[in-house]
Structure 1
Amino acid sequence: MTDIPASAEPRLTSLAHGGGCGCKIAPGVLEGILRGGIALPVPPELLVGIETSDDAAVFRVNDHQAIVATTDFFMPIVDDPGDFGRIAATNAISDVYAMGGTPVFALALVGMPINTLSTATIARILDGGADACRAAGIPIAGGHTIDSVEPIYGLVAIGLVDPAHLKRNAGARPGDALVLGKPLGVGIFSAALKKGALDAASYARLIETTTRLNTPGPDLARLDGVYAMTDVTGFGLAGHALEMARGSGCRLRIGWSEVPLLDPARRLAEEGFITGASGRNWASYGKEVAYARPMTEVDQALLCDPQTSGGLLVACAPETVPEVLAIFRQHGFAAAAAIGEAAEGEPGLILA
């Protein structure tokens, strides 16, 4: 092939029908696809599989070691190739942290339109992914590439966890407090970016939050008072909270005024910068959300906003909240906040 001059290349986001974790298949559609499960033998060593839509599979090796395996990939959420690679890799590695695990290596998944993008641009995407892996202290040990219509990048991420410290999305107990590690609004920022309406300061906030590794995960998992953990990604805060509620068999209450938001996510949503994935999310699970306060369409969009490389959602004993927040602060998560609690009742979500 003849390499493409950089000046002739289109914007990365213009090549993708969706960006970041907003590319996920809607929860309702996915449920229909997976209904009935996959009829395969499940060995006792498989500690976590597909049963509660958890963040990664976990396979016990011995009494003190289990393998954490996950994969994530998507189309561009930003136009800068290096930033795209860093975001995609950070997002993929996050699932290991969300199980309480420590990443050990990764494999790259690369699909690129080689007749549309230059080799230099593709190399910058891969370099961005490598930068995120270096920040996590792991190598990219291999991978796979294809020529695809849309740019796609991500990782298979492999980690290790002590089964005694494994945290699932299905362990919250009535009375537990809920803590969120990162502010919401990534999908709204990406919608504004795609339409040229995101200023430089907001873009910097977008990159800062989406490339911040969820490194508090292993430290949180070792706390006796932490009972469940997941990361908030493409299904939005409501979708991933509902997964925790269903898996745990309890009802979650979120104090909407306590939920941290990226500045100026609310204003941008009010101006109409909302992703299509937000609406698909609501259509899939909105019937499971109850309101104890008036909610606007903008509130609904923020609640369902697809997060790319979003924060950890932690269920812990109320007395453990100060220690959980201290761990988040030690790792640089200044916006982490207690946002609600778990209660007895039919699995679902209440917005208060």
Structure 2
Amino acid sequence: MTASSTSAATPRLTSLSHGGGCGCKIAPGVLAELLAKSNLPKQFFPDLLVGTETADDAAVYRINDEQAIVATTDFFMPIVDDAFDFGRIAATNALSDIYAMGGTPLMALAIVGMPINVLPHDTIAKILEGGESVCRDAGIPLAGGHSIDSVEPIYGLVGIGIVNPKHMKRNADAKAGDVLILGKPLGVGILSAALKKNLLDDAGYRAMVDATTKLNRPGMELSQLAGVHALTDVTGFGLLGHGLELARGAQLTTRIDSSKLPLLPGVQALIEQGVFTGASTRNWASYGAHVQLASSVSDAQRALLTDPQTSGGLLVSCTPDSVQQVLELFARHGFGDAAIVGHMEAGPARVIVD
């Protein structure tokens, strides 16, 4: 059985959704417009350490001087057709936001929306089992959740974690001179687009699943390093979008070296064939005005830089003298593809790509 095949009686999961994985996200420009029009009162809570101000990965609320709650939610439609893998990917992606704040997961709640009369109940059960398996791997209980009968299949988690406020890492605290290190290779969106077009072989499928189901555990230890100033994870807005969030939060320029980007196997060949997602185009339309591309950057490279990463890698902003320590920490946790991809420098809040 190939990566994209299913039984005749069961529709492909990806055929039931108009988008998949973090490519389902509302485009960043549209989201910013919607939030700007919100009529919710902007109340001040001194113990809310992280809210919506810098589009950070999770909310953080201080309980006392040593403890703060990290809360996040993430869900999406299928990025793959295998039900168990879909559940695993969605759960891994949701818990990543806790690790990206430097937090430790405590428990999770399931978010489930399924077309009950379209999908076999065994298929839905496999999705739930996939999510539960990731929670077990993270050492936390899946303690409940909520379900609805929906037109498209949706699955994800509410994640609850804990962090010492002194060690919490925001996406807004990068410093000029910091080096940027990316923990996982890029190209998930491209591989998922190839899967929907039946262009992805079994090796490519396995590479995609292996990357998207690897928990970003290094975030818990990275938060303990004094040389690490900022953390985020690269997901639906692509490397450029999340690099721009770093720049805006710190009021600095993010500079990316396009020649140093780590790629998942097979991605380069696919993107040269013109395989990419619609979300990549929407991402560029939303924030391209704040990105300066060198003339040497090709359209294929731009599509890669804007490629939505489902359950992508941690993006670390750290001092030059802590780079080796960060890379060794990643390698110790099995993230041998972690690589330097750029740096932060003084200048307006934008991204420059060399």
User: Do the structures match in fold with TM over 0.5?
Assistant: yes
Separation (CA, whole Å) in 1 of partners of 2:213 and 2:174 = 28
2:21: which partner in 1?
A: 20
Q: Pick the aligned partner of 1:242 from 241, 244, 249.
A: 244
- Are positions 1:217 and 2:219 aligned together? yes
CA contact (8 A) 2:280 2:303 kept: yes
**Displacement after TM superposition at 1:306 (Å):** 0.2
**Displacement after TM superposition at 1:292 (Å):** 3.3
2:107: which partner in 1?
A: 105
Amino acid at match of 1:317: T
- Are positions 1:191 and 2:193 aligned together? yes
Q: Pick the aligned partner of 1:233 from 214, 232, 235.
A: 235
Indicate the RMSD between aligned Cα atoms, in angstroms. 1.1
Separation (CA, whole Å) in 1 of partners of 2:263 and 2:64 = 41
Secondary structure of the structure 1 residue equivalent to 2:310: coil
1:31: which partner in 2?
A: 32
Separation (CA, whole Å) in 1 of partners of 2:302 and 2:340 = 20
Secondary structure of the structure 2 residue equivalent to 1:202: helix
CA contact (8 A) 1:235 1:306 kept: yes
CA contact (8 A) 1:6 1:118 kept: no
Amino acid at match of 1:191: A
CA contact (8 A) 1:52 1:247 kept: yes
Amino acid at match of 1:267: A
Q: Which runs of 5+ in 1 are unaligned?
A: none
Separation (CA, whole Å) in 2 of partners of 1:186 and 1:72 = 17
**Displacement after TM superposition at 1:42 (Å):** 2.5
Q: Pick the aligned partner of 1:54 from 47, 53, 56.
A: 56
Q: How big is each residue's C-alpha offset from its partner over 1:227-260, in whole Å with a ceiling of 9 and x where there is no partner? A: 0000000000000000010001100111111110
1:287: which partner in 2?
A: 289
Q: How big is each residue's C-alpha offset from its partner over 1:112-171, in whole Å with a ceiling of 9 and x where there is no partner? A: 000000110000000000011111111100000000000000000000000000000000
- Are positions 1:322 and 2:312 aligned together? no
Structure 1 segments (4+ residues) deviating >3 Å: none
2:313: which partner in 1?
A: 311
Secondary structure of the structure 1 residue equivalent to 2:134: helix
Amino acid at match of 1:12: L
Q: After the TM superposition, which of the residue ranges 289-298 and 335-344 deviates more from structure 2?
A: 289-298
Separation (CA, whole Å) in 2 of partners of 1:108 and 1:40 = 29
Q: Which runs of 5+ in 2 are unaligned?
A: 1-5
Q: After the TM superposition, which of the residue ranges 31-40 and 219-228 deviates more from structure 2?
A: 31-40
Amino acid at match of 2:329: I
Separation (CA, whole Å) in 2 of partners of 1:263 and 1:294 = 23
Q: How big is each residue's C-alpha offset from its partner over 1:181-220, in whole Å with a ceiling of 9 and x where there is no partner? A: 0000000000000111100011110000000000000100
Secondary structure of the structure 2 residue equivalent to 1:295: coil
Amino acid at match of 2:10: E
1:202: which partner in 2?
A: 204
Q: How big is each residue's C-alpha offset from its partner over 1:251-306, in whole Å with a ceiling of 9 and x where there is no partner? A: 01111111101121121011121100000000000111112341111011000000
Secondary structure of the structure 2 residue equivalent to 1:157: strand
Quote the sequence identity (%): 62
CA contact (8 A) 2:255 2:345 kept: yes
Secondary structure of the structure 2 residue equivalent to 1:214: coil
Secondary structure of the structure 2 residue equivalent to 1:222: coil
Give the TM-score taking structure 1 as reference length: 0.97
Amino acid at match of 1:98: A
1:296: which partner in 2?
A: 298
Q: After the TM superposition, which of the residue ranges 27-36 and 329-338 deviates more from structure 2?
A: 27-36
Give the TM-score taking structure 2 as reference length: 0.97
**Displacement after TM superposition at 1:7 (Å):** 4.2
Q: State how many pairs are aligned.
A: 348
CA contact (8 A) 2:258 2:297 kept: no
Secondary structure of the structure 1 residue equivalent to 2:93: helix
CA contact (8 A) 2:177 2:320 kept: yes
Q: After the TM superposition, which of the residue ranges 195-204 and 263-272 deviates more from structure 2?
A: 263-272
Separation (CA, whole Å) in 2 of partners of 1:84 and 1:166 = 30
**Displacement after TM superposition at 1:6 (Å):** 6.3
What does residue range 255-274 of structure 1 map to in structure 2 within 5 Å?
A: 255-274=257-276
Separation (CA, whole Å) in 2 of partners of 1:182 and 1:51 = 26
CA contact (8 A) 1:293 1:351 kept: no
Amino acid at match of 1:208: D
Separation (CA, whole Å) in 2 of partners of 1:122 and 1:291 = 44
